[in-house]
Structure 1
Amino acid sequence: MIHAATAPERIVVLAPLGRDSQVAIALLGEAGYQGVAAHDLDALCDYLQAGAGMAVIAEEAFNGADMTPLVAFLEQQPAWSDLPIVLITHHGGPDHPPSMRLGKQLGNVTFLERPFHPAALVSLVSTAIRGRRRQYEARDRLHDLSESRQRLQSALDAGREGEERLRQLNETLEQQVQERTAQVLQNEEALRQSQKMEAVGQLTGGIAHDFNNMLTGIIGSLELMRRRLSRGKTQDLDNLIDLGITSANRAAGLTHRLLAFSRRQSLDSQPVEMNRLVLAMDELLQRSLDESIRLDMHLDPALWVAEADPHQLESALLNLVINARDAMPNGGDLVVETSNHTLDETFTQQQGTLAVGDYVRLSVRDNGCGMPQSVINRAFDPFFTTKPIGQGTGLGLSMIYGFSKQSRGHVAIESQIGKGTTVNLYLPRFKGDTPAISPQAVEEAHRARSGETVLVVEDDSAVRLLVCEVLRELGYAYIEAAEASGALPVLNSPQRIDLLVSDVGLPGGMNGRQLAEIGRQLRPGLKVLFVTGYAEHAAVRGGFLDTGMQMITKPFTFDRLTAKVREMIEN
């Protein structure tokens, strides 16, 4: 059992927003620690001067405040003292510049990123207090050493034996202090690693569970088809084929959501008229709702043009509407709203890397059951869900979070138990000239014209074989290579090449984008179609593709591939 902390071990909490200080003190009190709230930095310094074991400080407490007294106090600490501080930061953690600057100024800092679990705060405080107690032990030992030195000094006149004993005692004490300090650092690192492994374990467990289900559908369908074909039965294979394709598409969707959460998906950012997109989805949204739920749309007629990937935005809106539906099992009102917002520095500083400027906001509001703060804090975690097993993957909100951050935007949740939930998605305003919107023609996979040749560069043999086989069926001549080194001699030859189809990630030290650059030096105007399953540097297409280049993501349908090949060759 942990007893209440003595006065030198009391915890000073400085969190100026809302009831953060009271909540933190209550949590620490339940763990057996004595906490006191400071209303500003000056009060914090007064408490520290009077004696304290550590401090818990929210990052926003330093906004516009004079840190000189606090820095002076930390610099004037005795040699044995290194006051531990838990610094509560926003998204971005210790790696974003404001937190890095504060960490250097404050010294012995442990970062705790919002949103966090109460157990994480208590764990960090417990570790810091244990370290502080070791500092007190070092102080006591230093005091004992000082007294020993005084006693030994009086005996120095009696001979060199006293001097040697003093030297040995001093070396032993310094070694003990070093060992204790090393142990504290080791314990802190072990805690951080434990927290990281817990998060990784939750993520990998969720992925394994969902992928195993999907692979069972794919493998099972293929096994049954092989059995029937071996017996010469070709009837009723369509259902098995559809089942396998459905499972494969679910696996592809899961991969896309994981890339969205990790901010590594390939985004096709472009001007988006959000009102037009929302209205186009009206019928789909209505079909996704129960008859007991009434859908209203409040669309700003003077809405700015947003900059985003329209397909990802459609997916985000559908996810939000489905979540709102599930929060109203007995029916209710659901409102989809669009509006213009200019975010000032006061708002953006609380969100870490969010830039000041104009944003288009998409809000989805329900009057359902609402969420407690503990659920809001974890709502964006991958595979976290409050739905029953089998009714949710826990990736919907995490995908929206990753999409918003990769789009240079922001997403926030407001909720009250019994009153409902509002999710606000902010996307940056488009700054350029809005192109005229023209209806898109239906893509058809036309057959090749005489002599048209495609160079296929793909390191995965199965994907390369399938792509080449589809091109052959449509009458294209093709040349295949497994890596860039095999494609360069072809590009440097007189061989006709109408289109280069290349994976972005290739082995051998040269990626697909570098291959395309060399190919265009050898063949000016060479058309390039990139295919990618994951490419960190191709996450934003606008900064990756030049004129005459396009990209499709794996997995893709062969109808889409051949239509894109035909389109690029003809254009």
Structure 2
Amino acid sequence: MSDRPEENALVPGPPPISFEAQELDDETRTEDRRGELGRLPQDILFQQRKLDALSHLTGGLAHDFNNILQGLLGSLQLAQRRLAIGEADKAGRLIDASMAAGRRAAGLTHRLLAFAQRQSLDPKPVDVAALLRSKETALREALGGNIALHMEVAPDLAPTLCDPRQLESALLGLAANARDAMSEGGALSLSLTGVVLAGEAAAAENVPPGTYTCLTVTDNGSGMTPDVCERAFDPFFTTKPMGQGTGLGLSMIYGYVKQSDGSISLQSRAGEGTRLRILLPEVVDLPQPIQTEGHLVTAGANPLVLVVDDDDMVRDLVTQVLSDAGYRTIAVGDAAAAMTVLRGGVMPDLLLTDVGLPGLNGRQLADAARELQPSQKVLFVTGYAANAVVGGGEFLEPGMSILMKPFEVGELTAKVAEMLESRH
């Protein structure tokens, strides 16, 4: 796996940022700096390395975003010029280019949130064995014809608590890394087993005692040197040539696994391949569905959506999109105003709320709304979930869901329609 470290011993997922001095463009200067750091007192050394790592992270982030913004702003400015002189046919292509740049920016922020363990996850019971088998064709296509894929799945595995879409993304990302590490061909092995960890074994993995699903991904590619292995999970660290990798792939998987209360480690040696091991907790308790009364929406019922967002631009956008789709809307800027509406006897078919509201946050608003109407359906719209919506491996309650900002207009209407058509 080319974007990942190869090591001589099993290495647990490192801290999100490696405290090793890093400079983006001047390797000689970096070596001199490291020599100076070695002569500093330990506490000053630690802080300096921390700042150097943050400098590497922010430098990489600024570089990528500047490229995206150049394409976005430049395309919009040219489109504005074309429209001003009546060349609307030429403006369409430029608008498409600006939208593509916006999607690239959205992808970058999602990866950064994943690394920071702050992305919005929708954990649910997942049959990982079935998911793995369903992705076999996609994995083989990602690997190409000169790499063999071997899968071994233990029988009767319990469901795993995770976000299935993120797990699918992680699998495809690991397959792509393995492909790049085996340019001359090779083999990739995927093994799925159940393990019980207690005492020292759980402590060694840095997870609570319990039962876990273990996914082991092994390739016989080029492997990694110990120094590369040490930095494999660092954001913006990559061994690929300039322009061929962002260095966010493994850091994103690391963040997803840790946010899912799991563990990730890797073992590699230069010239001998790489083994990556992921532990995800098995499901203990399943949520019980809430029996709803009077919130089943039928065709032509013209459902009412209460929109809550403190950002005027986002609130207006959501309201316009929903109105165009045929929904009635009430829009307010904070939880206090929303509670005034709800206490006034209004019973919306859906409460659509941002999480980061002033005063009561979106989750607190949802809880208060359900005290008034236990069957209230809630769609959280957020760009930074942290633990405000769901954390610690807990489920969202039935009748609740999450939509991650930034979203496509079609994604919003599809999600709202999906929730309103559901009985729970």
Does TM-score exceed 0.5, indicating one fold?
yes
RMSD (Å) for aligned C-alpha atoms = 3.2
Cα distance in 1 for residues equivalent to 2:61 and 2:135: 29
Cα 1:336/1:536, change in 2 over 3 Å: same
Local SS of the residue matching 1:510? coil
Structure showing greater Rg: 1
Deviation at 1:396, TM superposition (A): 0.9
Q: Which residue of structure 1 lines up, in the alignment, with residue 252 of structure 2?
A: 399
Cα distance in 1 for residues equivalent to 2:196 and 2:372: 48
Q: Is the counterpart of residue 569 in structure 1 residue 424 in structure 2? A: no
Q: Is the counterpart of residue 287 in structure 1 residue 141 in structure 2? A: yes
Cα 1:543/1:433, change in 2 over 3 Å: closer
Q: Is the counterpart of residue 271 in structure 1 residue 125 in structure 2? A: yes
Structure 1, gaps ≥5 residues long: 1-18, 21-88, 94-112, 128-186, 436-445
**If the length of structure 1 is used for normalisation, what is the TM-score?**
0.63
Q: Which residue of structure 2 lines up, in the alignment, with residue 146 of structure 1?
A: none
Cα 1:293/1:448, change in 2 over 3 Å: same
Cα 1:376/1:221, change in 2 over 3 Å: same
Structure 2, gaps ≥5 residues long: 1-7, 22-30, 289-296
Local SS of the residue matching 1:556? coil
Cα 1:556/1:542, change in 2 over 3 Å: farther
Q: Which residue of structure 1 lines up, in the alignment, with residue 24 of structure 2?
A: none
Deviation at 1:92, TM superposition (A): 8.8
- Among 475, 492, 495, which residue is 2:343 paired with? 492
Q: Which residue of structure 2 lines up, in the alignment, with residue 62 of structure 1?
A: none
Deviation at 1:237, TM superposition (A): 5.2
Local SS of the residue matching 1:358? strand
1:231-261, Cα deviation, whole Å (9 max, x unpaired): 3223355543443333222222221211111
Deviation at 1:458, TM superposition (A): 0.7
Q: Is the counterpart of residue 558 in structure 1 residue 409 in structure 2? A: yes
Contact 1:530 1:551 in 2 (8 A): yes
Q: Is the counterpart of residue 334 in structure 1 residue 184 in structure 2? A: no
Contact 1:447 1:474 in 2 (8 A): no
Q: Which residue of structure 1 lines up, in the alignment, with residue 353 of structure 2?
A: 502
Q: Is the counterpart of residue 430 in structure 1 residue 283 in structure 2? A: yes
- Among 519, 522, 525, which residue is 2:375 paired with? 525
Cα 1:527/1:432, change in 2 over 3 Å: closer
Cα 1:287/1:214, change in 2 over 3 Å: farther
1:5-30, Cα deviation, whole Å (9 max, x unpaired): xxxxxxxxxxxxxx99xxxxxxxxxx
Q: Is the counterpart of residue 536 in structure 1 residue 386 in structure 2? A: yes
Contact 2:355 2:381 in 1 (8 A): yes
Q: Which residue of structure 1 lines up, in the alignment, with residue 170 of structure 2?
A: 316
Deviates more, 1:333-342 or 1:391-400: 333-342
Local SS of the residue matching 1:329? coil
Q: Which residue of structure 1 lines up, in the alignment, with residue 4 of structure 2?
A: none
Corresponding letter in the other structure for 1:518: A
Higher relative contact order (CA 8 A, sep 6+): 2
Q: Which residue of structure 1 lines up, in the alignment, with residue 179 of structure 2?
A: 325
Map residues 31-180 of structure 1 onto 2, 5 A cutoff: 117=20, 126-127=39-40
Cα distance in 1 for residues equivalent to 2:283 and 2:116: 24
Corresponding letter in the other structure for 1:317: L
Cα distance in 1 for residues equivalent to 2:37 and 2:87: 64
The percentage of counterpart residues that share the same residue type is 46
Local SS of the residue matching 1:465? helix
Corresponding letter in the other structure for 2:311: D
- Among 62, 78, 84, which residue is 1:230 paired with? 84
1:261-294, Cα deviation, whole Å (9 max, x unpaired): 1111222222222222122222222222333222
Deviation at 1:205, TM superposition (A): 0.9
In terms of fraction of residues, the more helix-rich structure is 1
Q: Which residue of structure 2 lines up, in the alignment, with residue 386 of structure 1?
A: 239
Deviation at 1:539, TM superposition (A): 4.5
Corresponding letter in the other structure for 1:462: M
Deviation at 1:447, TM superposition (A): 11
Cα distance in 2 for residues equivalent to 1:522 and 1:411: 42
Deviates more, 1:385-394 or 1:556-565: 556-565
Local SS of the residue matching 2:251? helix
Q: Is the counterpart of residue 411 in structure 1 residue 264 in structure 2? A: yes
1:303-356, Cα deviation, whole Å (9 max, x unpaired): 4432211111111111111111111122222222222233343433333x3223
Cα 1:410/1:454, change in 2 over 3 Å: same
